Amino acid sequence: MNSPIELLSPDAFSAALNDRVDQYPFESTRFWRLINTGRCPPEMLTRYSINLVAGALRFCATLAHLIETAPNDKARLVLLRNLMEEEGIALKSTRGLVVNTSARHPELAIRFANACGADNTEITSQHRTRPNTESPIAAINRDYSWLESIAYLLVGQELRFSSTSAKIMEALAKQGYSQYDLAFFFVHNEADCRHGQEALDLVIENATTPALQQAALDAASAGSAAWFEGHGGTLNRRHKPGTISQPL
C-alpha cells in the first residue's frame, strides 16, 4: 500500500489507527452470534477457552520479546508494566514487588477453561508447541518490525479485546457462568483498554515518517483482521497472515 503523502498529525494518525481496528466489528462474528443467543455448542466454547489459555501464555512470552527489543527506555517501561500485570505482579510501596500467582492472566484463563469443562491435562496437551511448528515470536521476527508488532498485537488485538470482553462476560453470565469463572474477561475489560491506549501512544510516538505510519496502519489492520477471523468473522479481502490470534 502506498504511504501517505504527508505525515499525519498525532490526532489524525490515532483516528486512522482506530478506524483500522473498528473495520472488523466483533458483533459480526459467528462466535458472538452464538454466545449472544445462547446457542454456542459446549465443545466450541471449550475449544475457545483452551485457546484463550494458549493465547495468554503466548502473549506473555511475546511481550517479553518486545520489551527486550524495544527502541527506548520509555517503550520498555510501558510494556514492562503490561507484562507485570499479565503475570500478576504488583509494585507495593511497603513491600516491593508482590507476586500473586492466582491473578496471572494465564491462570484466570485456565479457571475459565475449567468452568467450560476442560481439565488441566487437556489444557496442557493442547497448548504445547508441536514439532516443526514455528513459534509466534519467530513469526513476528520474520514478518514485522518492532513498531509493526506493537501495532499488530497491542493495537489490532489487545485494544480490540478490551471492548469485547465486557460483551463476552455479559453474554456468558446470562448462561450461568459465575463472576469467578469469568474473571479473565473482567480484568481485560479494564486492563486491555489501558494497555491498548498506551500501545497506541507508543505507535504514534515511534512512527515518525509517512512510511512508518502506513506500515503501522497496515499492521493494526492485519492484527484486527486475524482476531476477527479467529472469532468466526468472514473476511472480504486479503490481509497479511496473522501470527497471533485466538482462534475458535
The one-letter code for the residue type at 241 is P
Instruction: For 14-124+137-230, give the CATH class.
Output: mainly alpha
Q: How far apart are CA 248 and CA 126, in angstroms?
A: 13
**Percent of the chain surpassing pLDDT 70:** 86
Nearest to 205 by CA among 23, 68, 7: 7
Amino acid 238: pLDDT:
42
Mean pLDDT on 204-233: 94
Amino acid 180: pLDDT:
97
pLDDT at position 204 over 70: yes
Mean pLDDT on 22-44: 94
pLDDT-derived band at 22 (thresholds 50, 70, 90) equals very high
**Cβ atoms 172, 35 nearer than 8 A:** yes
Question: Helical H runs in the chain?
Answer: 10-22, 30-36, 42-68, 73-86, 105-115, 120-127, 136-143, 146-149, 159-173, 183-206, 210-230
**Cβ atoms 193, 130 nearer than 8 A:** no
Q: Distance from CA of residue 87 to its chain's centroid?
A: 15
Partner residues linked to 99 by β-bridges: 89
Q: How far apart are CA 134 and CA 130, in angstroms?
A: 9
pTM of the model: 0.86
Amino acid 242: pLDDT:
44
Q: Distance from CA of residue 57 to its chain's centroid?
A: 11
Report the length, in residues, of the chain: 248
Q: Which residue has the higher pLDDT, 116 or 126?
A: 116
Amino acid 235: pLDDT:
66
Amino acid 189: pLDDT:
83
Amino acid 243: pLDDT:
43
Q: Which residue has the higher pLDDT, 193 or 226?
A: 226
Q: What sign results for the dihedral spanned by CA atoms 141, 198, 113, 28?
A: negative
Kindly state the helix (H) or strand (E) to which residue 70 belongs, with its residue range: none
Mean pLDDT on 224-239: 78
**Cβ atoms 33, 237 nearer than 8 A:** no
